[in-house]
Structure 1
């Protein structure tokens, strides 16, 4: 089973690099000690066990070379699959309930949606064109929303996301709510999604 999971992680990391031309880098991993899963970082209260960068220099490790990706995962076959934001894409990070509400609204309005992940920390992440994160505060204000009043994070240059099928401790596996396909190879501009996402986050805040 472990060997199969390792192969799945490697295959996913290589596909992101080869098929999407996304930069990839390995993160922490889970280790079993005394029958319990613990993060390789050895921090007792690790917030993202087995699913975070190993150090501040992670940006220098990220690559879209499939050969380099294979080499890195041969060294650490159970490492988390991490994707930098700010280069090939940016991300809108929202509560899971707001994410599903936003997806339903976009489908009704026939708004094109890119890949979307469902993270077992209770979040959803919408992939948009790189450079979108910087536009979000201004777009929200134009729509009448206060950026600080919504549980909406825009991840761009200097940030990263945890990619499927990485496991986050005992919480579960990061999954695709909308899988990358040839149909969504061209990512939407953040301006196309922000109204639906902000509305959904605003609804959640009002509950």
Structure 2
């Protein structure tokens, strides 16, 4: 498995130095073949950072879709991505789930426990993000949303008893180095590399994740 940083140190994983949001979005589309779309962004107002959506109570300032047709706007074309971020260089980088990948979202503490368990089991991981609101998103093959309701009960848990959320069709994740308000930037707990280009199926990770979520309750 690609080496990960366990514990709080993962919050300090260095991002690509000097790389702009535009360059990063283009790289995701070009190298990983991920669909990308520009979200909202942060604006300075009265010495504070606020979301470009204008909502003072925004739950994810600078890191959510800014238009209703975001799903149709998402593109896997590096050239189109370049044009979109040229128009708004500060826009967050959002990745629609349910296309090239789904994401299994768990709490940060459960995520670190699961990562340690997966390392011992020598499982092959896909990319994993760590968000400023203390969530970890494990990238898996599409279709996880359909499989999870059958998989979790087989492990002795009910789906509703675990803080384990599947992000599939109609949802998205914010990609590094997107910033979420004053909370900080999304980071990679497990970076995209050549060795994890092929994603695991939810069936390969669910045991470790369910166990970690159960311990974290």
TM-score by structure 1 length?
Answer: 0.95
> Match of 2:212?
200
C-alpha contact 1:133 1:155 (8 A) present in aligned 2? yes
1:77 is aligned, of 89, 103, 121, to 89
Question: How much does 1:111 deviate?
Answer: 1.1
Change in Cα spacing, 1:52 to 1:77, as seen in structure 2 (3 Å) is same
- Structure 2 counterpart of 1:65: 77
The secondary structure found in structure 2 opposite 1:110 is: coil
SS in 2 for 1:173: coil
Which segments of 5 or more consecutive residues in structure 2 lack a partner in the other structure?
1-15
Other-structure match for 1:175: 187
Superposed displacement of residue 50, structure 1: 0.2
Query: Which residue matches 1:30?
Result: 42
Query: Is 2:112 aligned against 1:100?
Result: yes
Give the deviation of 1:123 after TM superposition.
0.2
Contiguous gaps of at least 5 residues in structure 1: none
Residue in structure 1 matching 2:164, options 152, 160, 163: 152
Q: Distance in 2 between matches of 1:98 and 1:119?
A: 13
| Partner SS state of residue 93, structure 1 | strand
Residue 13 of structure 1: aligned partner: 25
> Which shows bigger deviation, 50-59 or 4-13?
4-13
Distance 1:111 1:137 in 2: 22
2:146 to 125, 134, 141: 134
**1:55: Cα distance to partner?**
2.1
Distance of 1:69 and 1:201 partners within structure 2: 36
Cα distance, 1:6 vs structure 2: 8.9
Q: Scaled by the length of structure 2, what TM-score is found? A: 0.91
How far the C-alpha of 1:100 sits from its partner, in A, is 0.4
In 2, the alpha carbon distance for the partners of 1:149 and 1:70 equals: 42
For 1:172, what is the secondary structure of its paired residue?
coil
Q: Distance in 1 between matches of 2:108 and 2:215?
A: 13
SS at match of 1:94: strand
Note closer, same or farther for the CA distance 1:6–1:63 as it changes in structure 2 (3 Å cut).
farther
